[in-house]
Amino acid sequence: MGIAISALSKLGLPGMDSLSTDQVYKKYFGSKNIKNYKDFHRAFVDLCSDFNLVMPGKHFTIQATEIEKFYEKWPKGTADPATESKRKELLAKFMKEQVEEYKTSSRAMMLTGVTAPPAAILIKKSGEKVPQLKMLRIDLIPNVVFVPAFTVLSLIGVRILKVTGTTRATP
């Protein structure tokens, strides 16, 4: 459905872009009584969480410090139509400028995916001779189960290392 709306707005039909912006704004910010940064941050995180759930395959991220800077610009006060339209415009502009696609290290994932199955077989073969691995009894696990499980766990490990590395790098 989003593709249809974006395609129609690219064709020049008026109001299609603002229709979706109005709906998003009303759902996450318009109906909620935002009094402080904590309320605003909760509404914004809900918006980002739902947005990431809807988008297949792609995930988007934003720096927490940018959200705080944006809240300082956020017009406070009553919910009159002029303030609401200004808030809507600011939110749309902010989302276009600051929200970025979260990119994983595809190279690390590919290298792990290619090297994990041979490594699993080598570990299983060495498990027959190395006393430290022999006590784990890896040789009892069939290759059909061990190799895919080892590969998936390796890919999960790479993903966790990437996520912890990016969260530590952010201020």
Per-residue pLDDT of 134-148, as tens digits, reads 888 888 889 999 999
The whole-angstrom separation of Cα 53 and Cα 59 is 8
Contact yes or no for 130/92 (Cβ under 8 A):
no
- Which letter, b or e, does each residue of 65-103 get, where b requires 16 or more Cβ atoms within 10 Å of its Cβ? eebeebbeebeeeeeeeeebeebbeebbebbeeebeeee
3-state secondary structure of 103: coil
The whole-angstrom separation of Cα 52 and Cα 121 is 37
pLDDT of residue 152: 94
Confidence class of residue 65 from pLDDT cuts 50, 70 and 90?
confident
The whole-angstrom separation of Cα 51 and Cα 49 is 5
pLDDT of residue 105: 62
**pLDDT tens string 73-102:** 877 766 677 777 788 888 878 877 777 766
CB-based contacts of 94, cutoff 8 Å, min separation 6: 70
List residues bridging with 100 in a β-sheet: 61
pLDDT of residue 69: 83
The whole-angstrom separation of Cα 124 and Cα 139 is 6
- Dihedral class, residue 3 (left if φ above 0, else alpha if ψ from -120 to 50, else beta): alpha
Where do the domains of the chain lie? 2-101, 106-169
pLDDT of residue 85: 79
pLDDT of residue 83: 77
- Environment class of 120 (CB within 10 Å of its CB; exposed 0-12, middle 13-18, buried 19+): buried
The whole-angstrom separation of Cα 87 and Cα 25 is 9
